[in-house]
Amino acid sequence: MWHIAALVGPYHDLEMYDKVNHHGTVNVIEACKKFGIQKIVMSSSPSTRFDGKDIDGLKESELRYPKKFLQEYAASKARGEEACMAACDNSTLFTVAVAPHQVYGPRDYLFLHNFLLNAKRLRVFGNGKNLVSVCFVDNYCHGLIVAEKQLYKDSPALRKFYICTDGTPVNLWRFIDRAICDILPGATSLFKKMSLPGWYFMYPIGYVCEGVGNLLGKKLKLTTFSVRMLLINRHFDPTESRRDLKYEPIVNPDEAWDITKKWFKEVWLPKHGAK
């Protein structure tokens, strides 16, 4: 069983996250037990380990649940993950949690989609030097597939959490800028525009947007969480996923980008363009 269903993004009603991401996972576990399904590969999220500080090349075993989660999505995913890992009995049910970090590729309507839509008004936050791990969608699918093969009695992967990436981290803002310049006709590079101070300007604005959103009963896209994710380093050491899952990316970054760019230019651009 590959459990990949989730309620994602920061814009849903809070109670729905727990219903889908936590209780939905419990339902999956119970269904597997009822019908004798012996393996669950749960699609988790690195956000379950985010405390808002930089992550510079840590292994998965060095990451911990934060004392306070930055968003309800992460908290609900963590509760679901805990339930799934606790259900592993090393005999009749084997479980593992596998997460991608910053997925991109064709049909990406969460990451690049939003930056491309807002390219004209977008500016670099902070110094534009923060590094992140990214994961092409095919590489993540491969990670889920190889993880299933490592679910057996006394496997070192049982009850563990792993992160799949493309390998070497990228400069987040250069990655976003490449997308804008490669996909949008006549686009201006972000690095030719004035950057915006991050922690002393955009972060306080995030608080303001959250307050305004609460007053209006709406969820605005600019929040303290979204600003923080655009400012901090978030990259990981792949040693453990290589060792325990035998995971290696199957699509190299240049090929992955060519596939991504082609889809956005041929499919996304005629429908959405840039606003």
Percentage of the chain exceeding pLDDT 70: 99
In 3D space, the residue among 189, 185, 199, 210 whose CA is nearest the CA of residue 122 turns out to be 189
Task: Please tell me the predicted confidence (pLDDT) of residue 207.
Answer: 87
Task: Please tell me the predicted confidence (pLDDT) of residue 275.
Answer: 46
Structural domain harbouring 238: 2-272
- For residue 274 the two structure tokens come to 């840039």
Are 132 and 172 spatial neighbours (Cβ–Cβ below 8 Å)?
A: yes
194-218 pLDDT tens trace:
999 999 999 899 889 888 888 877 7
In 3D space, the residue among 129, 133, 200, 197 whose CA is nearest the CA of residue 167 turns out to be 133
Mean pLDDT (whole number) for 129-148: 98
> How sure is the predictor about 237, in pLDDT bands with cuts at 50, 70 and 90?
very high
Domain count, the chain: 1
Which CATH number is 254's domain given?
3.40.50.720
In 3D space, the residue among 100, 67, 79 whose CA is nearest the CA of residue 29 turns out to be 79
